[in-house]
Amino acid sequence: MTARRPTRVSAPFLPFTRPSIDEETIAGVAEVLRSGWITSGPQVRAFEAALSAMFGGRPVLAFNSGTCTMEVALRIAGIGPGDEVITTPLSWVATSNVILAVGARPVFVDIDPVTRNIDLALAGQAVTPRTRAIIPVDLAGLPVDRDRLYQIAARHRLRVIEDAAQSIGANWRGRPVGSTGDFVSFSFHPNKNITTIEGGALVLNDEREADLAAQYRLQGVVRSGPDAMDVAVAGGKYNLTDVAARVGLGQLPRLGEVTRRRRELARRYLDLLGAPGLGDLGLGLPPADFEQGNWHMFQVLLPEKLAVPRAAVMQQMHEAGIGTGAHYPVIHLFTLYRGLGWKPGDFPHAERAGRDLLTLPLFPDMTRGDVARVVRELARVIRANLKP
Ligand SMILES: *Cc1c(COP(=O)(O)O)cnc(C)c1O
């Protein structure tokens, strides 16, 4: 931990998230390192097979990020210059950078302030003759309404690239995210519910798409003999290493337990934050969904009656030994996107969330006591900073 530890706090610093890698996995990684084959090979194939089994046998390819997965999906769908892709301004910037990367135009619509996910009614209204795809994001692991999403996609003949970077282990009406739908993209960054250090996976529809994805993953190479290869598409360098895949293979069997534990801790947060004594804080709480979401993050919306900006709350929480996060500053107000024409006020719900959402600590190795401590300190910090 690089976090500064104030002297008056005796409890250890509590980060907002922390990966959890067991000893068996660490030993397995050492074995791979000694094996003589450390880049893409048998571990990657085993990891892909395990993911595919989780997703009802759909084709799955592993990649070295949950960003290139979406870029490759857009390329497979043939989306490029002149095309529009609808998405949310409240996400990690990767979600829309990939649209620019293939030369298409992102079209943002506002979020639903309750779910904090893309407002699907607005998404439907934003469709033009140039719209080719939609990239919804399951923010904090709360799934976007798949029924409405695919109704809109079918009505307007849109491809869907589900940015499920945060929602592995979540489900829609009992069906695991990844097991249904069009393209589904996962990330295994260390902050995500399971990790490969860096990495991602793309779920595809058929073998033709999987073949193409494999080409885009590695320089477009297609081998046709021990000394023969051809290249028909300009692929990238997006392959996962066997070392990383071995980490993922150690993580996957624990996904159910991780999801269960996250739901339990989130329920504890909601119980404590919803208690009558804390009603005066004016916090906006996430939907109480313990069936479908995987609780990738627990985010509260800070009250408008606060006299200080979020950064001051984060600083004071840090001084109390508690890490917090800001997920995410809205995309459309970054310099790159302002340059494309967006401005403050375009998406009021997303902008409020981008300014005032605070991510509280939530990871499987936390205790119920940690949750109580976070709530106690948060209540103290907010009360100390209310407008007079
Ligand atoms: C993490 C994340 C990504 C990108 O994943 P990387 O593996 O870091 O490239 C994309 N979208 C969302 C919503 C994410 O949370």
CATH of the domain at 74: 3.40.640.10
Asked if residue 152 and residue 120 are part of one domain, the reply reads yes
CA nearest ligand 1 atom 6, residue: 66
Number of compact structural domains in the chain: 2
Range of the domain at 208: 23-254
The per-residue pLDDT for 1 is 47
Cα 55 to ligand 1 centre (Å): 20
Decide whether any atom of ligand 1 lies within 6 Å of the 106 Cβ: no
Cα 79 to ligand 1 centre (Å): 20
- Asked if residue 5 belongs to a domain, the reply is no
Q: Which atom of ligand 1 is nearest to the CA of 91?
A: 13
Last residue of a domain, one of 254, 285, 305: 254
Q: Which atom of ligand 1 is nearest to the CA of 191?
A: 1
Last residue of a domain, one of 194, 219, 254: 254
Q: What is the pLDDT of residues 72-121, one digit of tens each?
A: 999 999 999 999 999 999 999 999 999 999 999 999 999 999 999 999 99
The per-residue pLDDT for 278 is 86
pTM for the predicted model, two decimal places: 0.96
Asked if residue 217 and residue 304 are part of one domain, the reply reads no
Decide whether any atom of ligand 1 lies within 6 Å of the 92 Cβ: yes
Cβ–Cβ < 8 Å for 160, 182 = yes
Residues near 137 by beta carbon (within 8 Å), at least 6 away in sequence? 87, 88, 90, 91, 95, 117, 118, 144, 163, 165, 166
Cα 155 to ligand 1 centre (Å): 28
Cα 202 to ligand 1 centre (Å): 12
Decide whether any atom of ligand 1 lies within 6 Å of the 136 Cβ: no
Asked if residue 108 and residue 53 are part of one domain, the reply reads yes
Asked if residue 292 and residue 218 are part of one domain, the reply reads no
- Asked if residue 1 belongs to a domain, the reply is no
Which of 74, 93, 142, 163 gets mutated to test ligand 1 (max ligand atoms within 8 A of its CB)?
163
Which residues are identified as catalytic?
Answer: 192
Asked if residue 155 and residue 30 are part of one domain, the reply reads yes
Asked if residue 101 and residue 55 are part of one domain, the reply reads yes
Parts of the chain with a pLDDT under 50 = 1
Decide whether any atom of ligand 1 lies within 6 Å of the 163 Cβ: yes
- Asked if residue 8 belongs to a domain, the reply is no
Decide whether any atom of ligand 1 lies within 6 Å of the 91 Cβ: yes
Last residue of a domain, one of 254, 288, 319: 254
Decide whether any atom of ligand 1 lies within 6 Å of the 189 Cβ: yes
Cα 165 to ligand 1 centre (Å): 5
Decide whether any atom of ligand 1 lies within 6 Å of the 162 Cβ: no
Q: What is the pLDDT of residues 150-171, one digit of tens each?
A: 999 999 999 999 999 999 999 9
